[in-house]
């Protein structure tokens, strides 16, 4: 008789959402650091992936390290990075009008994207927590001229300790009401391109990757569109009662990262 042990299949690589998954506001969520220790111990590759383009990558590195994450573990890919790659590939050398924070502007300029106020060729909308009425006026004016419209990600709200904050998807709705236009392309999660890039970089098949996040329509949707396994954590935006109505069904559901760690390490 053959004996079998029903242990969960461990992924070769993990993509970790940050807001609502690893931390909430400025506090780590349960199991966060323990999970990183275990991933390092097991040799499982990982990166943080965030749609939030209100902060630059260095802001996230500083934030993670201030919370106790080691510098070498603070590997981050943002929707801003995905947008820069998209612009370089599809609009090389073009003049870009960006609605975004100073931090996002700096990250674009550091990568050689030419940002302008006048006579742009491409329009990019980011999650601008420094949004002003004048920026909206200018963006809508250029949209009516028919210029290409790129959004860094689709999130409707950003989770915080005081509750949901209006994110870029809410700005898109406002802009659509004014101009009748929606973005021509929306990068960030759930756009599958990033997962394919990471799989190539890591030398693993997408089926060996686990996507972990707190949102059905970005994190879990990304997993589904990219063909990776998905784990939903209930420490951020999604409640268990949201699951029956969702078109994106996660492979695993945990209260938080501690639950995920317990599952895969047991
Ligand atoms: Mg999140």
Q: Which of these, 209, 212, 226, lies nearest to 254 by C-alpha position?
A: 212
The domain in which residue 242 lies consists of: 13-51+189-265
Cα separation of 125 and 156, whole Å?
13
Residues 236 and 218 sit within 8 Å (Cβ to Cβ)? no
For residue 7, what pLDDT band results from cuts at 50, 70 and 90?
low
Average per-residue pLDDT in the chain? 92
| Residue 196 and residue 162 share a domain | no
Instruction: Read off the pLDDT of residues 27-38 as tens digits, 9 standing for 90 and up.
Output: 999 999 999 999
Q: Which residue has the higher pLDDT, 239 or 57?
A: 239
CA of 135 to the centre of ligand 1 (A): 26
CA of 55 to the centre of ligand 1 (A): 14
Cα separation of 43 and 58, whole Å?
25
Mean pLDDT of 162-190: 95
Mean pLDDT of 180-203: 89
pLDDT at 200: 83
Q: Bridge-partner residues for 254, per DSSP?
A: 233
CA of 19 to the centre of ligand 1 (A): 4
CA of 41 to the centre of ligand 1 (A): 25
Considering only 24-28, 166-170, 197-201, which range has the smallest mean pLDDT? Answer: 197-201
pLDDT at 86 over 70: yes
| Residue 193 and residue 178 share a domain | no
| Residue 161 and residue 208 share a domain | no
Does 2 fall in a domain? no
| Residue 198 and residue 176 share a domain | no
pTM of the complete model: 0.79
| Residue 200 and residue 160 share a domain | no
In the structure, ligand 1 is a single-atom ion and the residues with CB under 5 Å from it are 17, 19-20, 214, 236
Does 57 fall in a domain? no
| Residue 253 and residue 196 share a domain | yes
Residue 62 phi/psi, 5-degree rounding, is: -60, -45
| Residue 171 and residue 125 share a domain | yes
CA of 205 to the centre of ligand 1 (A): 24
CA of 32 to the centre of ligand 1 (A): 14
Up-side HSE of residue 117: CA atoms within 13 Å toward CB?
A: 3
Q: Of 118, 153, 186, which residue is a domain's last? A: 186
Residues 238 and 209 sit within 8 Å (Cβ to Cβ)? no
Phi-psi region of 228 (alpha: psi -120 to 50; beta: other; left: phi over 0): beta
Q: Which residue has the higher pLDDT, 118 or 78?
A: 118
């Amino acid at each position: 008789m053959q004996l079998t042990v029903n242990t969960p299949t461990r992924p070769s690589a993990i993509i970790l959402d940050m807001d609502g998954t690893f931390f909430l506001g400025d506090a780590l969520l349960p199991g966060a650091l323990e999970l990183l220790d275990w991933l390092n111990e097991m040799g499982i590759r990982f990166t943080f992936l965030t749609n939030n383009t209100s902060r630059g990558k260095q802001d996230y590195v500083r934030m993670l390290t201030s919370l106790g994450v080691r510098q070498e573990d603070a590997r981050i890919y943002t929707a801003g990075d995905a947008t820069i790659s998209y612009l370089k590939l599809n609009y090389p050398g073009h003049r870009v009008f960006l609605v975004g924070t100073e931090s996002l502007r700096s990250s674009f300029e550091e990568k050689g994207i030419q940002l302008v106020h006048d006579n742009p060729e491409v329009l990019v909308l980011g999650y601008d927590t420094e949004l002003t009425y004048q920026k909206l006026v200018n963006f809508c004016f250029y949209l009516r001229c028919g210029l290409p419209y790129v959004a860094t990600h689709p999130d409707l709200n950003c989770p915080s300790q005081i509750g949901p904050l209006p994110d870029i998807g809410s700005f898109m709705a406002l802009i659509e009401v004014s101009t009748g236009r929606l973005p021509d392309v929306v990068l960030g999660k759930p756009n599958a391109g990033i997962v394919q890039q990471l799989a190539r970089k890591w030398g693993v098949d997408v089926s060996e990757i686990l996507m972990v996040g707190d949102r059905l329509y970005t994190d879990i949707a990304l997993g589904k569109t990219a063909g990776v396994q998905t784990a939903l954590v209930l420490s951020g935006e999604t409640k268990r009662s949201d699951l029956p109505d969702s078109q994106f069904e996660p492979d695993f559901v945990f209260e938080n990262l501690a639950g995920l760690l317990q599952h895969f390490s047991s």
